[in-house]
């Protein structure tokens, strides 16, 4: 290669590197704008529900004073739970933005695993029944985690919801096990399963277990990414075992209290 050819090649490489830097910069700006948009959407979804939740709480308190076991009190209790769940789902978007910015700070307290599992499972049984699935729970009462309760609720909600969506109407199992100083929480389904090539991808933001948008259930595609970030922020982690057509088992590891 002559000197002139070498210079031309170096100039071409420099131009290519500059173009790549510009493209990377544009992608980073686009991601930042998307995170800001998600945070704004989350605020817009949450804010109108705050006064609604307050009104439901007042009506529920009045109904429970008059007839604690009446249908109105029971209906308002269920409505209260549903509004709270809606607000927690909106909070997921805020958590995504905070996690991406490295601002996800969680306060660990003693949390009985069985109680949180029971609450989440009961809230999701209607969804499971509609899908034709049953949910079996096997969690010892003496498993007390060191974690943030709301974060644990979100982890379980995301994993069980995914099991319902992708479980193909089969049975779902939620199991809690003690393993030394940690607890292992397993959520298993008997559905479509996840190919090995996709098992790392689904823990990234805006990815789904089913790659085809035409067949994937609706959602933001951030549930499993947030599960991983929440578990890691509390000193734990998440793993997946799956084969296509044989279902999937997600195992979350979290520290035990004491």
Phi, psi values for residue 139, rounded to 5°: -130, 120
What total of structural domains would you count in the chain? 2
Over range 48-76, report the average pLDDT.
Answer: 86
Domain boundary residue, one of 55, 78, 104:
104
Is the same domain home to 68 and 127?
no
List the structure tokens of 40.
């704004």
The pLDDT-based confidence of 101 (bands split at 50, 70, 90) is low
122/249 Cα distance (integer angstroms): 20
Closest residue by Cα to residue 37 from 79, 113, 80, 96: 96
Closest residue by Cα to residue 155 from 24, 41, 87, 251: 251
- Hey, is 240 helix, strand or coil? strand
Give the Cα-Cα-Cα angle 241, 246, 252 (nearest 5 degrees): 25
pLDDT digits 0-9 by tens, 77-90: 888 878 877 776 67
Is the same domain home to 59 and 44?
yes
41/196 Cα distance (integer angstroms): 34
Is the same domain home to 117 and 160?
yes
Is the same domain home to 161 and 242?
yes
Q: Check residue 243 and give its pLDDT.
A: 87
- Which sign does the torsion angle of CA 92, 97, 98, 102 carry? positive
Over range 148-167, report the average pLDDT.
Answer: 91
Is the same domain home to 147 and 178?
yes
The yes-or-no verdict on residue 184 having pLDDT over 70 is yes
DSSP E strand stretches across 53-129: 109-112
87/104 Cα distance (integer angstroms): 18
Alpha carbon 160 to its chain centroid, in Å, reads 10
What's the longest Cα–Cα distance across the chain? 95
Is the same domain home to 27 and 47?
yes
79/100 Cα distance (integer angstroms): 32
Is the same domain home to 121 and 193?
yes
Query: Which CATH number covers residue 237?
Result: 3.30.565.10
Q: Check residue 159 and give its pLDDT.
A: 95
Is the same domain home to 96 and 127?
no
Domain boundary residue, one of 104, 122, 148:
104
Domain boundary residue, one of 62, 86, 104:
104
Is the same domain home to 90 and 122?
no
Pairing, β 248-255 against β 172-179: unpaired
Is the same domain home to 124 and 188?
yes
Query: Which CATH number covers residue 24?
Result: 1.10.287.130
Is the same domain home to 49 and 155?
no
The yes-or-no verdict on residue 220 having pLDDT over 50 is no
Is the same domain home to 118 and 84?
no
| Mean pLDDT over the full length of the chain | 82
Query: Residue 14 belongs to what H/E stretch?
Result: helix 3-46
Q: Which domain holds residue 158?
A: 109-255
Are 179 and 194 contacting, i.e. CB atoms less than 8 angstroms apart?
no
């Amino acid at each position: 290669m002559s000197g002139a050819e070498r210079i031309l090649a170096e100039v071409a490489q420099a131009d290519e590197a500059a173009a790549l830097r510009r493209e990377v910069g544009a992608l980073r700006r686009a991601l930042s704008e998307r995170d800001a948009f998600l945070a704004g959407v989350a605020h817009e979804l949450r804010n109108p529900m705050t006064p609604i939740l307050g009104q439901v709480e007042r009506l529920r308190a009045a109904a429970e004073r008059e007839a604690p076991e009446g249908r109105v009190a029971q209906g308002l209790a269920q409505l209260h739970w549903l509004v709270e769940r809606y607000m927690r789902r909106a909070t997921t978007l805020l958590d995504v933005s905070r996690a991406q910015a490295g601002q996800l700070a969680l306060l660990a307290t003693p949390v009985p695993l069985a109680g949180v599992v029971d609450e989440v499972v009961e809230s999701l049984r209607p969804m499971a029944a509609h899908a034709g699935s049953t949910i079996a729970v096997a969690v010892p009462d003496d498993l007390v985690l060191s974690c943030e309760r709301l974060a644990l609720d979100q982890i379980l909600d995301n994993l069980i919801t995914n099991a319902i969506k992708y479980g193909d109407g089969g049975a779902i199992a939620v199991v809690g096990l003690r393993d030394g100083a940690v607890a292992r929480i397993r959520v298993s389904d008997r559905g479509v399963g996840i190919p090995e090539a996709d098992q790392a991808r689904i823990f990234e933001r805006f990815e789904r277990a089913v790659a085809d948008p035409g067949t994937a259930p609706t959602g933001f595609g951030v549930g499993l990414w947030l599960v991983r970030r929440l578990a890691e922020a509390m000193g734990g982690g998440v793993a997946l075992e799956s084969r296509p057509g044989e279902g999937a088992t997600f195992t979350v590891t979290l520290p035990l209290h004491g």
